[in-house]
Amino acid sequence: MSARSDGRRPARRTAAVGVPLALVAALGAAGPATGAPADGARVVRTATLGDIPLGAFSNGLLPGTVDDDRGVDLGGIGSDIFPAGRKGEFWTVTDRGPNGQIKVGGTKRRTFPVPGFDPAIVKIRLCGDAVEVLDAIPVTTSSGRAVTGLPDQQGRDEAPYDYRALTALPYNPDGLDTEGIVRAADGTFWLVDEYGPSLVHVSARGRVLTRYVPGGLNLTGADYPVVEALPSVLLHRKINRGFEGLAQLPGGDLVLAVQSPLSLPDTAAGEASRTTRLLRFSPKKKAVTAEYAYRFDPVDVVDPGEDDTSELKISSLVAVGGDRLLVEERTDRAARLQLVRLDRSSNILGSSWDDDTTSPSLEQLADPAAKGVPVPAKKLVVDLGTVAGVPGKIEGVARVDDDTLALINDNDFGMTDGTGAFDTEGRLVDSGVETTVTYVRLPRRL
């Protein structure tokens, strides 16, 4: 990619048609799963998001939030994708914004080069081979301020630093690392967050109505209601691996996925485990009504050649009717979609497995089913790693129709880790990874 005198890459696509007027001027535009994968899945469409300066985008939503975007473009909207009703239109959500890691004195520090960035709900439309932004909604506090993507709690979350990892930034109890989205029938949105981990209910215009967090989190100082309504065992979530998948069942209940196994009783146990957890939440009852032990396939089955079990993650859940879900098991290089049914007999909510003093913990069991833990059965639908044209780091999956899925990747705002992420003038050295929406057609209906 050629460089411009201002440090930005030249736009390859025009900015979106239909962007709100406020933005137009600113933008200028468990053992192996049962069953076998569906043979013959293929990519039938790919569309790419053009270059939209992040500062112009953010300040068009909340003026004055970003004073220097360091040459970063809008990205990260691939944290999830949800159908918006019309053909080719989807709701997406960004994560906490551009971030990376730099080693200082042998210790990795988390960098936030655009600390004023505010997570946003972004409505997109596919037009030919381009992704257009139709609408964008900032996630805000009760007072209408940006929640930001900064970590919440000192001692629990990673400490935030500037882009060089030299200057510490303040924590923010309002901060959200949003990673999943669904839209309810009343027009409000539900998001999941990595920090708490938490389930966040926001208004149709993005204002946080309630943030549901684990019991005992003791999050204070937030400028919105915080309710401790989730199992306290979730306090053991691995750093940067809280909730990432979210689905809405036909009756309105929500299913949340813990991205990776809990660090229970310690980090080593979580890194070695292949058992994570799914939760069912009732918006009517405002409570968790069920919990399930979900068993990953071995990491070298999900991603041949990978031998690090800690690379396993769930990044997307998709409701496919009744109590059935597609669950995306992935590494950064590969992904597989499993069909799972959540039945009452698999509910472990309130059992000893929710007690963090239970030994061995659920995460330590080499074979949970052999120890009497009900593990939902699953069936492999498609191995995306074998489908030509599917990009890496797929974090969002949505149904287009009965035999077609829309996939969206997280391009990490074009950032990489290390001191080379920015040049000597503090401008982004872009990775070249773009945000794409990819349609994959399955050989048979779901």
Q: What would the pLDDT profile of 278-313 be if each residue is shown by its tens digit?
A: 999 999 999 999 999 999 999 999 999 999 999 999
Does residue 317 surpass a pLDDT of 90?
yes
Largest CA distance in the chain: 64
Query: What ranges do the domains of the chain cover?
Result: 21-441
Q: Which helix (H) or strand (E) holds 243?
A: strand 243-248
Mean pLDDT of all residues belonging to the chain: 92
Does residue 2 surpass a pLDDT of 50?
no
Does residue 203 surpass a pLDDT of 80?
yes
Alpha-carbon distance values, 38 to 302, 330, 440 (Å) = 15, 17, 12
* pTM, 2 dp: 0.92
Supply the Cα-derived Rg of the chain in whole angstroms.
21
**Nearest in space to 118 (alpha carbons), one of 195, 55, 198:** 55
| Spatial distance between the Cα atoms of 342 and 349, rounded to a whole number of angstroms | 13
Q: Which residues contact 180 (CB under 8 A, 6 or more apart)?
A: 79, 80, 93, 191, 192, 243, 244, 245, 246, 256, 316, 317
Buried-state track 128-164, b at ≥16 Cβ within 10 A, e below 16: eebbbbbbbbbbbbeeeebbbbbbbbeebbbebbebe
The first and second tokens of residue 149, run together, are 């993507």
How do 42-49 and 81-83 pair as beta strands?
Answer: unpaired
190, 205 Cβ separation under 8 angstroms: no
Does residue 406 surpass a pLDDT of 70?
yes
For the sheet containing 89-93, what is the strand order?
81-83, 89-93, 120-127, 130-138, 42-49, 436-441, 404-409, 394-401
The first and second tokens of residue 166, run together, are 């030299």
Confidence grade of residue 25 (pLDDT, cut at 50, 70, 90): very low
- pLDDT at site 278: 98
Reduced DSSP (H G I as helix, E B as strand, rest coil) percent helix, strand, coil of the chain, to 5 = 10, 35, 50
Average pLDDT over residues 18-36: 40
Does residue 133 surpass a pLDDT of 70?
yes
Does residue 424 surpass a pLDDT of 70?
yes
244, 315 Cβ separation under 8 angstroms: yes
Q: What would the pLDDT profile of 56-101 be if each residue is shown by its tens digit?
A: 999 999 999 999 999 999 999 999 999 999 999 999 999 999 999 9
| Spatial distance between the Cα atoms of 106 and 104, rounded to a whole number of angstroms | 5
Q: What are the phi and psi torsion angles at 25 (to 5°)?
A: -65, -40
How do 89-93 and 178-183 pair as beta strands?
Answer: unpaired
**Nearest in space to 72 (alpha carbons), one of 394, 416, 349, 359:** 416
Under DSSP, the state recorded for 239 is T
Q: What would the pLDDT profile of 337-368 be if each residue is shown by its tens digit?
A: 999 999 999 999 999 999 999 999 999 999 99
Q: What are the phi and psi torsion angles at 67 (to 5°)?
A: -90, -25
**Nearest in space to 94 (alpha carbons), one of 138, 28, 46, 142:** 138
| Spatial distance between the Cα atoms of 298 and 257, rounded to a whole number of angstroms | 18
Confidence grade of residue 146 (pLDDT, cut at 50, 70, 90): very high
Q: What angle do CA 426, 431, 437 make, to 5 degrees?
A: 130
Q: What would the pLDDT profile of 238-281 be if each residue is shown by its tens digit?
A: 999 999 999 999 999 999 999 999 999 999 999 999 999 999 99
How do 226-230 and 208-214 pair as beta strands?
Answer: parallel
The full DSSP string for 295-314 is EPPPHHHHSTT---GGG-EE
213, 219 Cβ separation under 8 angstroms: yes
- pLDDT at site 344: 93
- pLDDT at site 403: 95
**Nearest in space to 295 (alpha carbons), one of 261, 333, 336:** 261
140, 191 Cβ separation under 8 angstroms: no
Which residue is it, tokens 């009744």? 322
- pLDDT at site 446: 86
| Spatial distance between the Cα atoms of 15 and 28, rounded to a whole number of angstroms | 7
Does residue 5 surpass a pLDDT of 90?
no
Q: What would the pLDDT profile of 222-239 be if each residue is shown by its tens digit?
A: 999 999 999 999 999 999
Confidence grade of residue 39 (pLDDT, cut at 50, 70, 90): low
Reduced to 3 states (helix: H, G, I; strand: E, B; else coil), residue 444 is: coil
Does residue 11 surpass a pLDDT of 60?
no
| Spatial distance between the Cα atoms of 355 and 345, rounded to a whole number of angstroms | 20
Above pLDDT 70, what percent of the chain?
Answer: 91
The first and second tokens of residue 258, run together, are 């813990």
| Spatial distance between the Cα atoms of 395 and 413, rounded to a whole number of angstroms | 14
202, 139 Cβ separation under 8 angstroms: yes
Under DSSP, the state recorded for 146 is B
